[in-house]
Amino acid sequence: MENRAEGKGTCLIAGCGYTGTRLARRRLGAGPVLALVRRAVSAEVLIRQGIPAVAADVDAGIPLLALPRELASVIYLAPPAGAGTEDLRLARFLQALGPARPQVVVYFSTTGVYGDTRGAAVDEASPVAPREDRSRQRWEAEGQVAAWCGARGVRPVILRVPAIYGPHRLPLDRLRRSEPVLRDGDSGPGNRIHVDDLVAACLAALDRPVSGAFNLTDGAPESMAAFTIRVAKLAGLPAPRRVSWAEAQSVMSPGVLAFLRESRLVTSRRMQELGWTPEYGNPDDGIRASLVEMGWGNSSSAGR
């Protein structure tokens, strides 16, 4: 496989939602960008923000007729569709690319592929053991990307991403609703990354001749409960009530409980290869920056 850094051509961002939109804005300064979304209304919103966009529903078999002739890179952020353990949406997307041969494909996966290690540390060399179907789909999708790229001499980059936080992605609504969090003894370590650090890591992966899987993290692991309490303090909101795991079964949503059932400490042997370090290695800084961008009235003074 050729180890080529990104050159001329368009950067195609498939699945341009929260992270993808911020990524597109950053990448526009480096060359042509095209966002691919499912719905026409989403494309119109992006276009109004100055981001070139097209709509095509690959789930419905709609061909990608509007793709530029030269693709320098493909960044795939779309979530898997449907149940099961295979990502059929990604399979249809890769098929729809036809003869395209970008220099690099960056696939956004999840640290959930490591499964539940009961708080033990994992890195890129650790065994993969996904427990939830969504994580199994992501692991299967990683294999699809590797196979597609390998057959075409394209550089594959897999970014294994933990929980993402940032502006409008803080647990403020849960705090306002006085939703509880787990007590210390029942709350395992968690991992997260600020959205702007995630964007920066992705751009570094485009521009450096790297390949393979990378764990991304801010390097400051703490439980979901501890992070929520940290947000409450900095936002000037009351701290949430702490509950036991037994009580959580009746007061927390199934989605939150599924998230809390897995615990692992994500580390990375390879992040330095990207030439990137998190700007928000201290979660306080990332939370404050997020609150400021949101115009949160108490962000400048709370928590000092």
pLDDT digits (tens, 9 = 90+) for 267-285: 999 999 999 999 999 999 9
In this model, does residue 7 exceed pLDDT 90? Answer: no
Summarize pLDDT for 72-108 with one digit per residue, the tens.
999 999 999 888 999 999 999 999 898 899 999 999 9
Q: In whole angstroms, what is the distance from residue 231 CA to residue 170 CA?
A: 7
Summarize pLDDT for 22-80 with one digit per residue, the tens.
999 999 989 999 999 999 999 999 999 999 999 988 888 767 766 787 899 999 999 99
**What topology is assigned to 10-170+192-220+266-280 in CATH?**
Rossmann fold (3.40.50)
Q: What pLDDT score does 302 carry?
A: 42
Residue holding tokens 């001329």? 8
* Mean pLDDT calculated for residue range 226-248: 96
* Mean pLDDT calculated for residue range 117-142: 96
Q: What pLDDT score does 67 carry?
A: 79
Q: Where do the structural domains in the chain lie, given as residue ranges? A: 10-170+192-220+266-280
* Nearest-10 Cα torsion for 72, 77, 79, 85: 60
Question: What does the H/E/C string look like for the chain?
Answer: CCCCCCCCCEEEEECCCHHHHHHHHHHHHHCCEEEEECCHHHHHHHHHCCCCEEECCHHHCCCCCCCCCCEEEEEECCCCCCCCCCCHHHHHHHHHCCCCCCCEEEEEEEHHHHCCCCCCEECCCCCCCCCCHHHHHHHHHHHHHHHHHHHHCCEEEEEEECEEECCCCCCHHHHHCCCCEECHHHCCCCCEEEHHHHHHHHHHHHHCCCCEEEECCCCCCCCHHHHHHHHHHHHCCCCCCEECHHHHHHHCCHHHHHHHCCCCEECCCCHHHHCCCCCCCCHHHHHHHHHHHHCCCCCCCCCC
In this model, does residue 301 exceed pLDDT 60? Answer: no
- Average pLDDT, whole number, for the chain? 92
In this model, does residue 4 exceed pLDDT 50? Answer: no
**303 backbone φψ class: left, alpha, beta (φ>0; ψ -120 to 50):** left
Q: What pLDDT score does 60 carry?
A: 80
* Mean pLDDT calculated for residue range 152-173: 98
In this model, does residue 3 exceed pLDDT 50? Answer: no
* Nearest-10 Cα torsion for 174, 82, 128, 143: -130
CB 199 within 8 A of CB 23: yes
pTM for the whole structure: 0.93
Max CA pair span of the chain:
57
Cβ-based neighbour number of residue 94 at 10 Å: 21
Q: What pLDDT score does 70 carry?
A: 87
Judge residue 7's burial from the number of C-beta atoms within 10 Å of its C-beta, 0-12 exposed, 13-18 middle, 19 or more buried: exposed
